[in-house]
């Protein structure tokens, strides 16, 4: 307004909505990081849905990955059993794997910048979290 930009009400509404959405997203991420930092070293074990932890780790690094042109393909099986784990320690492992995969695709300009994350149940109650791969 101070710059006297001539924006129609619909454009202004769209831009303000995007700003509000991004601010809310940043608040969510900051709250998550605070909780992660506070709880990561705690030996607290609980029943954890692996897909929730994968989604949280992906959400933390998603904007960074997209800004580098790295796409992420999530294939998460719906009916996975709960596992006993420290949610934040597991998330820390996934964040490290994602960071390593990001570095791997960054170092290979000849390779498509894509990371695949897959969860699935195999055999008699065994849970397999397929490692992150670059394609």
Three-state SS sequence of the chain: CCCCCCCCHHHHHHHHHHHHHHHHHHHHHHHHHHHHHHHCCCCCCEEECHHHHHHHHHHHHHHHHHHCCCEEEEEECCCCCCEEECHHHHHHHHHHHHHHHHHHHHCCCCCCCEEEEEEEEECCCEEEEEEEEEC
CATH architecture of 45-134: 2-Layer Sandwich (3.30)
pTM more than 0.75: no
pLDDT at residue number 131: 44
Give the start-to-end residue ranges of the domains of the chain: 7-39, 45-134
- Give the lowest-confidence range in 45-49, 81-85, 126-130: 126-130
């Amino acid at each position: 307004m101070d710059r006297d930009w001539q924006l129609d009400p619909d454009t202004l509404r769209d831009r303000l909505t995007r700003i509000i959405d991004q601010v809310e997203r940043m608040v969510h991420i900051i709250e998550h990081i605070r909780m992660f930092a506070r709880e990561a070293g705690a030996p607290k074990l609980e029943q954890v849905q692996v897909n929730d932890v994968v989604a949280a780790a992906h959400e933390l690094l998603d904007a960074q990955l997209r800004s580098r042109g790295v796409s992420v393909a999530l294939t998460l099986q719906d009916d996975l059993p709960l596992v006993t784990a420290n949610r934040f320690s597991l998330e820390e492992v996934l964040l490290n794997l994602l960071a390593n995969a990001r570095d791997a695709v960054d170092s290979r300009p000849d390779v498509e910048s894509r990371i695949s994350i897959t969860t699935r149940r195999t055999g008699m109650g065994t849970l397999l979290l397929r490692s992150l791969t670059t394609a």
